[in-house]
């Protein structure tokens, strides 16, 4: 399971946790999230996310 970070506000999408509040079940892979989904914290589109770097 990977983590993705919103490049605008820093929100992290954790595939393991999903975003159940917005209809994305836990375990949903990034590529399986609909293109219409947007960052729950700042509203930017899925296209504006980038892979988060996990802290060493």
Give residues in contact with another protein (CB under 8 A).
Answer: 5-10, 20-22, 40-44, 50, 53, 55
The secondary structure of 1-56, three-state, reads CCEEEECCCCCEEECCCCEHHHCECCCCCHHHCCCCCECCCCCCEHHHEEECCCCC
Q: Would you say 35 or 53 has its CB closer to another protein?
A: 53
Q: Would you say 44 or 46 has its CB closer to another protein?
A: 44
At closest approach, how far in Å is the CB of 41 from another protein? 5
Q: Would you say 6 or 33 has its CB closer to another protein?
A: 6
């Amino acid at each position: 399971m990977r983590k993705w970070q919103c490049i605008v506000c820093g929100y992290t999408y954790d595939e393991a946790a999903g975003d159940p509040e917005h209809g994305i079940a836990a375990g949903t892979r990034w590529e399986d999230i609909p293109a219409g989904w947007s960052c729950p914290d700042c509203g930017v589109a899925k296209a504006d996310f980038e892979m988060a770097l996990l802290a060493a």
